[in-house]
Structure 1
Amino acid sequence: MDRLTNTVRPYAWGSTTAIPGLLGEEPTGGPQAELWMGAHPGAPSRIDRGAGPVSLADVIAADPVAELGAPCADRFGPRLPFLFKVLAAAEPLSLQVHPDLNQAKAGFLAEEEAGIALDAPERMYKDTNHKPELICALTLFEGLCGFRTPAQAADLLEGLNVDGLVPYVDVLRAKPEADALREVFTAVLTAPREAIAATVGEAVAAATGLATGDGPFAADYAMYAAVARTYPGDPGILAGMLMNPVRLQPGEAMYLGAGVPHAYLDGVGVEIMANSDNVLRCGFTPKHIDVPELLRVVRFVPGETDVLHASPADGAYDTPLDDFRLHRHDLDAAARTLDTGRPQIVLCTDGSAELTSADGTHLSLRRGESAFLPAAGAPVRATGSGTLFRATVRG
């Protein structure tokens, strides 16, 4: 077992207090958006096995079979296949989507052949990997995820009584679902900026007035009006009105697969994702947006977003892939034995956790502290009083 020293990323949308509060530290006064745990080359965690702090990425690269286990190393190569984070949003993150594996490989190759530098602002494909992810709320957590049905989107837009939205309502009511969503999504993102900004302004003004009423979309209107305070006139606000609002209570989670547009708006959660930086943005950002490429990746499939709960049996949140698995353990309810044979990162988010290895090694984790458990280690028993999150791969 190795205690982790982790990096906090100071993105502009981050909370100034949430991550310092979790870590028991004084706020810096600036935003502290994400606490990274893992071996991502951008900010790898560090461990100390007696010779001083070293990068977890370097430790894994030196002996991937011992650190990851042979099945994981064979499947994903000599690197940790997931990145684990605490995410603290005080302002909306960009409205975005991630590619699948084939799209990521093709996009990376195309940008390499075009000579676009990896750090260029217009670069979208930083690697050849997909980036599915799962977010689990630590506080009330609000976001947008996936598409509403066109009928629901038409009702919401029509309720604003804005002339500029009438053509979108007509399309949503008249065309097959996928075609309708694609046409309106495309129209919003490709419209002349001044014209669409005026329509957005009218829509937001109407939404603000309806947000305190008792209509069926009052809470949704309030959510879009809040986004507009940070991004006035952004066409992503109208694109977001085509999407499902999601409100997660602590312990609830949602999974985001390839092609699913989404945005995190407010709250604190633990996030786990495949080890990738591939992002295509749709709105809520001053960064580069490539609409044609975006439309190749977005999947225009309507339907409600599933809210996931930890399994009573093993604390796992069910996802359809092997790259990562997140577990939530209530140590007040029962001790847990953490199996071996695969890499694991554990994070205490409340109370404290006592980790005791079968070989007699012991490690205490307070709130905000985390540890790496290598695949070749002995089984570990977790006890204590509080909440422990465990990030690993599918066994």
Structure 2
Amino acid sequence: MFLLSNGTRAYEWGSRAAIPSFLGRDSDGNPVAELWMGTHPLAPSSVEETVGLLTPLVALAGELPFLLKVLAADKPLSLQVHPDTALAAAGFRDEEAAGIPLGAPERSYKDPRRKPEMAYALTTFDTLVGFRPTAEILRILSAIDTPLTKSLGEDLRARPGFKGIVRLVERMLTDPVAPVEIAEVTDACRILAGRSFDIKRAYQTAVEVAEHFPDDVGVVISLFLNRLTLQPGEVAFLGPGVIHAHLSGMCLEVMASSDNVLRAGLTNKHLDPAGLVRCLDKGMSRVARVTPEQWGFSTEIFSPDVEEFALSVTQCSHADPEGTVLPSSGRRILLCTGGEVTLLNERGESLDLARGDSVYAGPDDGSLRIIGIGEVAQAYEPTRRTRQSSMVDLV
């Protein structure tokens, strides 16, 4: 077992206080968006294998198929999708051949892997995810009396369904929408929301997004997306090809070890509207709430039907004086999300953990257990037997 030293990402949408507080540090006043735990080359973790000397985790563990993050958002993230395996491999190959540096801001494909992901809410967490049904979108548009929404509604009635919605998104991304048209939609949404007339929070969401990106066509596209609120401990799974934009809150993200993102708005980062539409044209992937499986008395396992990752969350107390056993005995990353615990392996070695401390454990550590009062999340490689969590589709 080794304590991890992890990198953070200072994206402008991040919270100034949430992750520093989680790590027990003072804020320097700058936004901290993500804490990465894994072997991805853009922000690889290290371990102190020798006192005073950090060793890259990849040298000890090999490349891990999963990446664990803490994400903290104070304002909306970019409107984005992640590619499937075929698109990721082709996009990575093309950008490598073009000589675009891996860390270049115009780079979309950072690796050749797909990126399914799962979000576990640490606070109330709001996100936009997946397209609403055609009928719902038409109801939303019909109440907004602007030339743009009337035109969008006419096009969708002429070509309903998923493909028709994608074509509308493509139209808005390729034929620039004037800021005055976006402002008209925002003003209409503000009036409707103020009258307590809303359809599944669509109008209020557009108003909230416009506070940060008033001239961005993503304000209009947000009307097309489901708004989902996760309470602490609730989990959502997003397959590749699902359009989404997280809005606010703090969560754990466990995902395939990838950083491939195709963006089309709500950001000052590189945009790739054509890449985003290509992902959408592959057809909708699964968007689902994940119902945990109970493992013992103190552990919930969230294991969607993917081969790259699963997540367990274990609580312990003095009611278990011998300690609470954790699932999995393979390669694992553990994160203390609350309290103070002692982590023990089968060799009798131990580590004391407080909130924000993270650990890599390998097969040689065998079964792990925790003693104390606290909570530990664990990302790990699932087996066929553990891939069993039930999922309720959102769309």
Normalising to structure 2: TM-score of the pair? 0.89
> 1:248 & 1:166 partners in 2: Cα distance?
32
Q: Any conservation in 1 of the 2:334–2:378 contact (CA below 8 Å)?
A: yes
Superposition pairs for residues 150-165 of structure 1, below 5 Å?
A: 150-165=134-149
**2:106 is aligned with 1:122:** yes
> 2:31 & 2:274 partners in 1: Cα distance?
33
How far is the alpha carbon of 1:107 from its aligned partner?
Answer: 1.2
Gaps of 5+ in 1: 61-66, 68-77
Q: Residue in 2 aligned with 1:17? A: 17
User: Which of 253, 261, 266 does residue 271 from structure 1 map onto?
Assistant: 253
How far is the alpha carbon of 1:173 from its aligned partner?
Answer: 2.7
Q: Residue in 2 aligned with 1:317? A: 302
**2:227 is aligned with 1:245:** yes
1:168-189 C-alpha deviation (Å, 9 max, x unpaired): 1122233240232122111111
How far is the alpha carbon of 1:305 from its aligned partner?
Answer: 4.3
User: Which of 221, 224, 227 does residue 206 from structure 2 map onto?
Assistant: 224
**2:336 is aligned with 1:354:** no
1:87-138 C-alpha deviation (Å, 9 max, x unpaired): 1101111111111111111111222233333333322112111111111111
Superposition pairs for residues 94-113 of structure 1, below 5 Å?
A: 94-113=78-97
How far is the alpha carbon of 1:300 from its aligned partner?
Answer: 7.4
Superposition pairs for residues 77-96 of structure 1, below 5 Å?
A: 78-96=62-80
How far is the alpha carbon of 1:308 from its aligned partner?
Answer: 2.2
> 2:204 & 2:373 partners in 1: Cα distance?
38
Q: Any conservation in 2 of the 1:178–1:300 contact (CA below 8 Å)?
A: no
**2:285 is aligned with 1:297:** no
Q: Residue in 1 aligned with 2:122? A: 138
Q: Any conservation in 2 of the 1:274–1:323 contact (CA below 8 Å)?
A: yes
Q: Aligned pair in 2 of structure 1 residues 7, 304: CA closer, same or farther (>3 Å)? A: closer
Q: Aligned pair in 2 of structure 1 residues 275, 132: CA closer, same or farther (>3 Å)? A: same
Q: Residue in 1 aligned with 2:387? A: none
How far is the alpha carbon of 1:215 from its aligned partner?
Answer: 2.5
Q: Which amino acid aligns with 1:234?
A: D
Q: Residue in 1 aligned with 2:5? A: 5
Q: Which amino acid aligns with 2:172?
A: V
User: Which of 365, 368, 373 does residue 380 from structure 1 map onto?
Assistant: 368
Count of residue correspondences: 377
> 1:234 & 1:224 partners in 2: Cα distance?
11
Q: Residue in 2 aligned with 1:64? A: none
Q: Residue in 2 aligned with 1:210? A: 192
Q: Any conservation in 1 of the 2:345–2:366 contact (CA below 8 Å)?
A: yes
User: Which stretch shows the higher mean deviation, 254-263 or 287-296?
Assistant: 287-296
How far is the alpha carbon of 1:221 from its aligned partner?
Answer: 1.7
How far is the alpha carbon of 1:302 from its aligned partner?
Answer: 6.9
- The answer to which structure has the higher strand fraction is 2
How far is the alpha carbon of 1:198 from its aligned partner?
Answer: 1.9
User: Which stretch shows the higher mean deviation, 106-115 or 245-254?
Assistant: 106-115
Secondary structure of 1:353's match? strand
> 2:99 & 2:23 partners in 1: Cα distance?
42
User: Which of 334, 340, 352 does residue 364 from structure 1 map onto?
Assistant: 352
Secondary structure of 2:290's match? coil
Secondary structure of 1:306's match? strand
> 2:312 & 2:184 partners in 1: Cα distance?
44
> 1:357 & 1:113 partners in 2: Cα distance?
46
> 1:357 & 1:318 partners in 2: Cα distance?
23
Q: Any conservation in 2 of the 1:2–1:372 contact (CA below 8 Å)?
A: yes
Q: Any conservation in 2 of the 1:94–1:263 contact (CA below 8 Å)?
A: yes
> 1:50 & 1:293 partners in 2: Cα distance?
44
Superposition pairs for residues 166-181 of structure 1, below 5 Å?
A: 166-181=150-165
Q: Which amino acid aligns with 1:201?
A: A
> 2:231 & 2:282 partners in 1: Cα distance?
27
Normalising to structure 1: TM-score of the pair? 0.89
Secondary structure of 1:125's match? coil
Q: Which amino acid aligns with 1:229?
A: E
User: Which stretch shows the higher mean deviation, 213-222 or 91-100?
Assistant: 213-222
RMSD over aligned Cα, in angstroms? 2.1
1:344-374 C-alpha deviation (Å, 9 max, x unpaired): 1111111122212222111111111111111
> 2:55 & 2:210 partners in 1: Cα distance?
41
> 2:85 & 2:221 partners in 1: Cα distance?
25
> 2:80 & 2:281 partners in 1: Cα distance?
12
Q: Aligned pair in 2 of structure 1 residues 52, 304: CA closer, same or farther (>3 Å)? A: closer
Q: Residue in 1 aligned with 2:53? A: 53
Q: Which amino acid aligns with 1:272?
A: V
Q: Any conservation in 2 of the 1:130–1:276 contact (CA below 8 Å)?
A: yes
Q: Any conservation in 2 of the 1:246–1:305 contact (CA below 8 Å)?
A: no
Aligned identity (percent) is 38
